[in-house]
Amino acid sequence: MVNDQLTEILLAAILVSATYDKDQPVIKWGGLVVAVGAVVSALFG
């Protein structure tokens, strides 16, 4: 299903945003928050 694929992509985005070292933490944590919100929305929405 499209929802399952979307969930996998977003989980990969969480992994990337959590492990990619940026000079500006707002970029790293902002991406993490958006990706987590999108995963929750995909799972429960």
Provide the percentage of residues in the chain whose pLDDT is more than 90: 0
Q: Which domain holds residue 37?
A: 2-44
- The count of domains in the chain is 1
Instruction: Please indicate, yes or no, whether the overall pTM of this predicted structure exceeds 0.75.
Output: no
Complete DSSP assignment for 1-45: -HHHHHHHHHHHHHHHHHHS--SSHHHHHHHHHHHHHHHHHHHH-
Question: pLDDT digits over 3-20, tens only?
Answer: 777 877 777 777 777 777
pLDDT of residue 1: 64
Whether the CB-CB separation of 42 and 3 falls below 8 Å is answered with yes
